[in-house]
Amino acid sequence: MSATFLKWAGGKAKLAPRVVQRLPAAFGRYHEPFLGGGAVYFALCAAGRAGSARLADSNADLVECFGMVRDRTEDLIEVLLGVEAEYLALDPDGRRACYLAHRAAIPRDPVERAARLIFLNHTCYNGLYRVNAKGQFNVPHGRYVKPRIADVPGLRAAAACLDHAELACEDFEAACAHARRGDLVYLDPPYYPLSATSHFTAYTANAFGPGEHERLRDCFEALTRRGVAAILSNSEHPAVRELYEGRGYCLDVVEMSRAINSVGSGRSRIPELLIDNFERPEVLPALAGAQGHLRLETAGQR
Protein backbone atom coordinates (compact mmCIF):
# COMPACT_ATOMS: atom_id res chain seq x y z
CA MET A 1 0.00 0.00 0.00
CA SER A 2 1.41 3.35 -1.07
CA ALA A 3 1.02 6.50 1.00
CA THR A 4 1.44 8.68 -2.10
CA PHE A 5 -2.06 10.07 -2.52
CA LEU A 6 -1.46 12.40 -5.49
CA LYS A 7 -0.35 11.85 -9.06
CA TRP A 8 2.31 14.37 -9.98
CA ALA A 9 4.03 15.38 -13.20
CA GLY A 10 7.67 14.66 -12.49
CA GLY A 11 6.69 12.57 -9.47
CA LYS A 12 9.36 10.25 -8.12
CA ALA A 13 7.41 7.07 -7.36
CA LYS A 14 9.77 5.00 -9.53
CA LEU A 15 12.96 6.87 -8.64
CA ALA A 16 12.24 7.05 -4.91
CA PRO A 17 13.68 3.60 -4.00
CA ARG A 18 16.90 4.50 -5.83
CA VAL A 19 17.15 7.79 -3.95
CA VAL A 20 16.50 6.18 -0.55
CA GLN A 21 19.05 3.44 -1.25
CA ARG A 22 21.66 6.07 -2.08
CA LEU A 23 21.23 8.11 1.11
CA PRO A 24 23.77 8.13 3.96
CA ALA A 25 23.26 5.59 6.74
CA ALA A 26 22.47 8.35 9.21
CA PHE A 27 21.59 12.03 9.07
CA GLY A 28 19.79 14.62 11.15
CA ARG A 29 16.52 16.17 10.03
CA TYR A 30 15.14 15.43 6.57
CA HIS A 31 14.19 18.39 4.36
CA GLU A 32 12.30 18.36 1.05
CA PRO A 33 11.86 21.86 -0.44
CA PHE A 34 10.10 20.66 -3.65
CA LEU A 35 7.48 18.40 -2.08
CA GLY A 36 5.25 17.68 -5.09
CA GLY A 37 3.60 14.29 -4.56
CA GLY A 38 6.02 13.45 -1.73
CA ALA A 39 7.07 10.06 -3.16
CA VAL A 40 10.62 10.16 -1.78
CA TYR A 41 9.50 11.20 1.69
CA PHE A 42 6.87 8.45 1.76
CA ALA A 43 9.47 5.91 0.57
CA LEU A 44 11.79 7.09 3.34
CA CYS A 45 8.95 6.69 5.81
CA ALA A 46 8.18 3.17 4.53
CA ALA A 47 11.83 2.27 5.08
CA GLY A 48 11.57 3.46 8.69
CA ARG A 49 14.08 6.26 8.12
CA ALA A 50 11.99 9.43 8.02
CA GLY A 51 12.40 10.64 11.60
CA SER A 52 11.93 14.39 11.97
CA ALA A 53 11.14 16.09 8.65
CA ARG A 54 10.43 19.49 7.19
CA LEU A 55 8.49 19.41 3.92
CA ALA A 56 7.95 22.52 1.81
CA ASP A 57 6.64 23.65 -1.56
CA SER A 58 5.84 26.97 -3.20
CA ASN A 59 2.38 25.66 -4.15
CA ALA A 60 0.11 26.86 -1.33
CA ASP A 61 -2.81 24.62 -2.36
CA LEU A 62 -0.57 21.57 -2.30
CA VAL A 63 0.88 22.34 1.15
CA GLU A 64 -2.61 22.98 2.53
CA CYS A 65 -3.77 19.64 1.11
CA PHE A 66 -0.93 17.79 2.84
CA GLY A 67 -1.88 19.56 6.06
CA MET A 68 -5.48 18.43 5.81
CA VAL A 69 -4.39 14.85 5.10
CA ARG A 70 -2.27 14.99 8.26
CA ASP A 71 -4.55 16.94 10.59
CA ARG A 72 -8.12 16.23 9.45
CA THR A 73 -7.81 12.83 7.85
CA GLU A 74 -11.25 11.45 8.63
CA ASP A 75 -13.07 14.68 7.72
CA LEU A 76 -11.26 14.69 4.38
CA ILE A 77 -12.08 11.03 3.74
CA GLU A 78 -15.77 11.68 4.45
CA VAL A 79 -15.87 14.51 1.90
CA LEU A 80 -13.99 12.48 -0.71
CA LEU A 81 -16.28 9.48 -0.32
CA GLY A 82 -19.24 11.75 -1.05
CA VAL A 83 -17.58 13.31 -4.10
CA GLU A 84 -16.54 9.88 -5.38
CA ALA A 85 -20.07 8.48 -5.06
CA GLU A 86 -21.52 11.52 -6.83
CA TYR A 87 -19.02 11.40 -9.69
CA LEU A 88 -19.04 7.64 -10.35
CA ALA A 89 -22.85 7.55 -10.55
CA LEU A 90 -22.85 9.91 -13.56
CA ASP A 91 -22.63 9.18 -17.29
CA PRO A 92 -19.63 10.59 -19.24
CA ASP A 93 -21.31 13.93 -19.97
CA GLY A 94 -22.41 14.25 -16.37
CA ARG A 95 -18.92 13.46 -15.12
CA ARG A 96 -17.42 16.14 -17.33
CA ALA A 97 -19.96 18.69 -16.06
CA CYS A 98 -19.25 17.64 -12.46
CA TYR A 99 -15.50 17.99 -13.03
CA LEU A 100 -15.83 21.45 -14.56
CA ALA A 101 -18.08 22.58 -11.70
CA HIS A 102 -15.50 21.49 -9.11
CA ARG A 103 -12.69 23.04 -11.15
CA ALA A 104 -14.47 26.40 -11.25
CA ALA A 105 -15.43 26.46 -7.57
CA ILE A 106 -13.02 27.44 -4.77
CA PRO A 107 -14.44 26.26 -1.42
CA ARG A 108 -13.91 28.36 1.70
CA ASP A 109 -13.34 25.38 3.99
CA PRO A 110 -9.75 23.99 3.89
CA VAL A 111 -10.95 20.37 4.00
CA GLU A 112 -13.22 21.03 1.02
CA ARG A 113 -10.33 22.70 -0.81
CA ALA A 114 -8.08 19.70 -0.14
CA ALA A 115 -10.80 17.32 -1.34
CA ARG A 116 -11.19 19.43 -4.49
CA LEU A 117 -7.46 19.20 -5.24
CA ILE A 118 -7.42 15.42 -4.79
CA PHE A 119 -10.61 15.02 -6.86
CA LEU A 120 -9.26 17.14 -9.72
CA ASN A 121 -5.89 15.39 -9.57
CA HIS A 122 -7.49 11.96 -10.01
CA THR A 123 -10.04 12.92 -12.65
CA CYS A 124 -8.20 15.49 -14.81
CA TYR A 125 -6.47 14.66 -18.08
CA ASN A 126 -3.36 12.53 -17.51
CA GLY A 127 -3.25 13.33 -13.77
CA LEU A 128 -1.47 16.60 -14.53
CA TYR A 129 -1.38 19.53 -12.10
CA ARG A 130 -1.06 22.78 -14.02
CA VAL A 131 -2.13 26.35 -13.43
CA ASN A 132 -2.28 29.41 -15.68
CA ALA A 133 -0.64 32.81 -15.11
CA LYS A 134 -3.44 33.72 -12.69
CA GLY A 135 -2.81 30.61 -10.61
CA GLN A 136 -6.03 28.93 -11.77
CA PHE A 137 -6.13 25.17 -12.33
CA ASN A 138 -6.75 24.72 -16.06
CA VAL A 139 -6.31 21.02 -16.93
CA PRO A 140 -9.17 19.50 -18.97
CA HIS A 141 -11.27 16.55 -17.84
CA GLY A 142 -9.84 13.04 -18.15
CA ARG A 143 -11.67 9.89 -19.20
CA TYR A 144 -11.01 7.30 -16.54
CA VAL A 145 -13.55 4.50 -16.19
CA LYS A 146 -13.32 4.18 -12.42
CA PRO A 147 -10.85 6.62 -10.86
CA ARG A 148 -9.99 6.00 -7.20
CA ILE A 149 -10.89 9.35 -5.71
CA ALA A 150 -11.18 8.29 -2.06
CA ASP A 151 -8.20 6.02 -1.35
CA VAL A 152 -9.02 5.51 2.31
CA PRO A 153 -6.12 3.19 3.25
CA GLY A 154 -3.66 5.35 1.30
CA LEU A 155 -4.81 8.56 2.95
CA ARG A 156 -4.57 7.04 6.42
CA ALA A 157 -1.08 5.71 5.63
CA ALA A 158 -0.06 9.16 4.40
CA ALA A 159 -1.43 10.78 7.55
CA ALA A 160 0.62 8.40 9.71
CA CYS A 161 3.78 9.26 7.75
CA LEU A 162 3.11 12.99 8.04
CA ASP A 163 2.46 12.89 11.77
CA HIS A 164 5.96 14.10 12.68
CA ALA A 165 6.51 16.31 9.64
CA GLU A 166 6.47 20.10 9.62
CA LEU A 167 4.86 21.64 6.52
CA ALA A 168 5.68 25.02 5.00
CA CYS A 169 4.74 27.01 1.91
CA GLU A 170 7.86 28.82 0.79
CA ASP A 171 10.51 29.17 -1.88
CA PHE A 172 13.15 26.43 -2.02
CA GLU A 173 15.92 28.79 -0.89
CA ALA A 174 13.97 29.79 2.22
CA ALA A 175 13.26 26.11 2.91
CA CYS A 176 16.95 25.19 2.59
CA ALA A 177 17.87 27.91 5.09
CA HIS A 178 16.32 25.74 7.84
CA ALA A 179 18.74 22.86 7.21
CA ARG A 180 21.57 22.49 9.72
CA ARG A 181 24.91 20.72 9.68
CA GLY A 182 24.36 16.94 9.46
CA ASP A 183 20.82 17.30 8.09
CA LEU A 184 19.77 15.90 4.71
CA VAL A 185 18.07 17.81 1.90
CA TYR A 186 16.47 16.19 -1.16
CA LEU A 187 15.89 18.62 -4.03
CA ASP A 188 13.54 17.71 -6.86
CA PRO A 189 13.05 20.87 -8.94
CA PRO A 190 11.01 21.11 -12.13
CA TYR A 191 13.40 19.38 -14.51
CA TYR A 192 15.48 21.24 -17.07
CA PRO A 193 13.53 20.60 -20.31
CA LEU A 194 15.07 18.16 -22.77
CA SER A 195 13.18 19.76 -25.64
CA ALA A 196 11.00 22.77 -26.41
CA THR A 197 7.86 20.66 -25.85
CA SER A 198 8.85 19.03 -22.54
CA HIS A 199 8.09 21.87 -20.12
CA PHE A 200 6.31 20.65 -16.96
CA THR A 201 6.97 23.72 -14.82
CA ALA A 202 3.53 25.29 -14.35
CA TYR A 203 2.84 23.94 -10.84
CA THR A 204 2.55 27.54 -9.68
CA ALA A 205 2.02 30.79 -11.58
CA ASN A 206 5.80 31.37 -11.55
CA ALA A 207 7.89 29.53 -14.15
CA PHE A 208 11.11 27.71 -13.21
CA GLY A 209 13.62 28.70 -15.89
CA PRO A 210 17.41 28.62 -16.37
CA GLY A 211 17.91 31.45 -13.89
CA GLU A 212 16.12 29.45 -11.20
CA HIS A 213 18.31 26.43 -11.93
CA GLU A 214 21.39 28.61 -11.42
CA ARG A 215 19.96 29.89 -8.14
CA LEU A 216 19.31 26.28 -7.12
CA ARG A 217 22.95 25.38 -7.90
CA ASP A 218 24.12 28.25 -5.70
CA CYS A 219 21.79 27.04 -2.94
CA PHE A 220 23.19 23.49 -3.31
CA GLU A 221 26.71 24.86 -2.90
CA ALA A 222 25.68 26.90 0.14
CA LEU A 223 24.22 23.78 1.76
CA THR A 224 27.47 21.94 1.08
CA ARG A 225 29.60 24.63 2.69
CA ARG A 226 27.41 24.46 5.81
CA GLY A 227 27.96 20.71 6.10
CA VAL A 228 24.42 19.80 5.02
CA ALA A 229 24.11 16.57 3.03
CA ALA A 230 22.18 17.22 -0.18
CA ILE A 231 20.99 15.15 -3.12
CA LEU A 232 19.33 16.52 -6.23
CA SER A 233 17.55 14.95 -9.20
CA ASN A 234 17.31 16.58 -12.62
CA SER A 235 17.32 15.77 -16.32
CA GLU A 236 20.47 14.49 -18.00
CA HIS A 237 21.11 17.72 -19.90
CA PRO A 238 24.40 19.44 -20.79
CA ALA A 239 23.20 22.63 -19.09
CA VAL A 240 22.64 20.75 -15.82
CA ARG A 241 26.04 19.05 -16.02
CA GLU A 242 27.67 22.42 -16.62
CA LEU A 243 26.11 23.72 -13.41
CA TYR A 244 27.37 20.88 -11.18
CA GLU A 245 30.46 19.27 -12.71
CA GLY A 246 33.93 20.12 -11.40
CA ARG A 247 32.74 20.94 -7.88
CA GLY A 248 33.44 17.66 -6.12
CA TYR A 249 29.89 16.38 -6.44
CA CYS A 250 28.96 12.87 -7.50
CA LEU A 251 26.87 12.80 -10.71
CA ASP A 252 25.24 9.48 -11.60
CA VAL A 253 22.96 8.70 -14.53
CA VAL A 254 19.86 6.59 -13.88
CA GLU A 255 17.39 5.55 -16.55
CA MET A 256 13.75 6.04 -15.63
CA SER A 257 10.48 5.97 -17.57
CA ARG A 258 8.33 9.07 -17.52
CA ALA A 259 5.31 8.79 -15.22
CA ILE A 260 3.23 11.29 -17.19
CA ASN A 261 3.27 11.85 -20.94
CA SER A 262 0.41 12.87 -23.20
CA VAL A 263 1.49 10.29 -25.78
CA GLY A 264 1.69 6.67 -24.64
CA SER A 265 4.60 5.91 -26.97
CA GLY A 266 6.49 8.78 -25.34
CA ARG A 267 6.73 6.92 -22.05
CA SER A 268 10.16 5.54 -22.90
CA ARG A 269 13.20 5.27 -20.65
CA ILE A 270 14.83 8.65 -20.15
CA PRO A 271 18.23 9.20 -18.50
CA GLU A 272 18.12 11.35 -15.36
CA LEU A 273 20.84 12.70 -13.11
CA LEU A 274 21.25 12.13 -9.39
CA ILE A 275 23.71 14.61 -7.91
CA ASP A 276 24.97 14.48 -4.32
CA ASN A 277 27.58 16.19 -2.15
CA PHE A 278 28.14 13.30 0.26
CA GLU A 279 31.87 13.04 -0.52
CA ARG A 280 32.63 16.74 -0.23
CA PRO A 281 35.06 17.43 2.67
CA GLU A 282 32.62 19.84 4.32
CA VAL A 283 29.91 17.16 4.47
CA LEU A 284 31.82 13.98 5.32
CA PRO A 285 32.58 14.94 8.96
CA ALA A 286 28.99 16.04 9.51
CA LEU A 287 27.68 12.68 8.29
CA ALA A 288 30.25 10.85 10.43
CA GLY A 289 28.94 12.79 13.42
CA ALA A 290 25.38 11.79 12.60
CA GLN A 291 26.47 8.16 12.31
CA GLY A 292 28.13 8.35 15.73
CA HIS A 293 24.99 9.86 17.23
CA LEU A 294 22.96 7.00 15.74
CA ARG A 295 25.30 4.43 17.35
CA LEU A 296 24.87 6.12 20.75
CA GLU A 297 21.08 6.11 20.38
CA THR A 298 21.09 2.43 19.36
CA ALA A 299 23.31 1.49 22.28
CA GLY A 300 21.06 3.36 24.69
CA GLN A 301 18.02 1.41 23.49
CA ARG A 302 19.58 -1.99 24.22
**Do 262 and 206 fall into the same domain?**
yes
Picking from 153, 178, 208, the residue at the C-terminal end of a domain is 153
Strand partners, 251: 275
**Do 191 and 249 fall into the same domain?**
yes
| CB-based contact 123:147 (threshold 8 Å) | yes
| CB-based contact 183:24 (threshold 8 Å) | no
**How many Å separate Cα 149 from the centre of its chain?**
19
Q: Which domain holds residue 253?
A: 16-58+170-301
Tens digit of each residue's pLDDT, the chain (302 residues):
567 899 877 668 889 999 999 999 999 999 999 999 999 999 999 999 988 999 999 999 999 999 999 999 999 999 999 999 999 999 999 999 999 999 999 999 999 999 999 999 999 998 888 888 777 889 999 989 999 999 999 999 999 999 989 999 999 999 999 999 999 999 999 998 876 555 444 444 457 889 999 999 999 999 999 999 999 999 999 999 999 999 999 999 998 765 444 444 445 678 899 999 999 999 999 998 776 555 445 444 44
CATH number at residue 54: 3.40.50.150
**Do 214 and 176 fall into the same domain?**
yes
In sequence order, what are the residues at sequence separation of 6 or more whose Cβ sits closer than 8 angstroms to the Cβ of residue 234? Answer: 189, 191, 192, 213, 240, 272, 273, 275
Q: Is residue 10 assigned to a domain? A: no
Q: Is residue 163 assigned to a domain? A: no
Q: Is residue 7 assigned to a domain? A: no
Q: Is residue 250 assigned to a domain? A: yes
